[in-house]
Amino acid sequence: MLRLLLLVGLWNAPATPGEADGLYRQGNTAAAAERWDEALALWARAEALAPQWKYAFNQASVLAFLGRPAEAWAACERARAHGVPPEHAGEVDAEQRRIEDVLLADHALLALTVEPADACVTLDGAPLAASGRAILRRATSRLVVAREGHATLDEPWAHPIGARTSRTVRLASLPLAASAATSGAAAPAGATGATRGSATPTGAASGAVAPTGATRGSATPAGAASVAATPPGPFAAAAPDPDAAPAAGPHPAWKWVAFGAGAAAGAAGGLLLLDADAHRRPEVFRSDAAAAEEAYTSRRDPGLALAITAGVALATGAILWLLEAP
């Protein structure tokens, strides 16, 4: 029966020009002969050349049959991203639902909707797929949703194993001044500027259901599936905000502090050095050379230290002045 379904799909598949279609038909032929690895490789090459939903959907059907439901689920997600025709949407939905029923044995199925749609979303530091959907083998994740000009959401998200959990997050817009001041800065954990959506687990599905639906040119094997690791999918990236203010430079008061400190240290150091030189005069040495030398040394060393400090402070002030220049 499996061979018959595959051959019917091959004969009735609509013609698609180019090398990708040739690889697709070769994959169908390999699947009809139950050479599954060869078929998967050919369909993957076809998808890489010309992303089409049927190339990814064929892979999903065979991966589910081979007991690799996580990879099959990811292939269904790719098929959706490529654009499923309305007349085949029901078949893809039914196939993915059967795969999800298997995954629910030890996975959580997540669906996240974010406003604004171009916000950057991560789960435990990994970007979330553009579809907002994910399968995870853990019951809690760290959810971070951020976009410039909006308050950042950063909090734990509980999503029970064995359940489908959906959630909506709407980020609150920041006032213009606050947005400019915090541009590019990450909000602390537990930021409250976002409206938290409700998590709505719907319960675990009981048992695995073998995939039975077929689309034209697709392999539709029947059999139970086991759990496999999830391959990575496409990621959404936050769009840059053209209106964001540039980061502020050093505070303008610091250069005056540096200039003032440099002037004070220079004046004090100069006085000490002048006083030290006074004790080197010949008439002072003739009267008491030992005392004159001790007085000279006690004034010269701190005077030199203050002079060096003055130079550093004045140089710092000059650097701060240059940093403020447009």
Distance CA 218, CA 24 (A): 10
53-to-44, 59, 81, 208, 236 alpha-carbon distances in Å: 11, 10, 8, 25, 20
Distance CA 254, CA 250 (A): 7
Distance CA 121, CA 142 (A): 10
Q: List the chain pLDDT tens, one digit each, 326 residues.
A: 343 234 334 434 444 458 999 999 999 999 999 999 999 999 999 999 999 999 999 999 999 999 999 999 999 999 999 999 999 999 999 999 999 999 999 999 999 999 988 999 999 999 988 778 998 989 899 999 999 999 999 999 999 999 999 999 999 999 875 555 554 444 444 433 333 443 434 433 333 333 333 343 444 443 333 333 333 333 333 344 445 444 445 556 777 787 788 788 788 877 877 777 776 666 665 666 677 677 777 877 887 888 898 888 788 877 877 777 65
pTM: 0.50
pLDDT at 231: 39
Beta strands 164-171 and 194-195 are antiparallel
Distance of CA 103 to the CA centre of its chain: 25
Phi-psi region of 297 (alpha: psi -120 to 50; beta: other; left: phi over 0): alpha
pLDDT at 48: 95
pLDDT at 288: 67
pLDDT at 221: 45
pLDDT at 187: 41
pLDDT at 17: 53
pLDDT at 158: 93
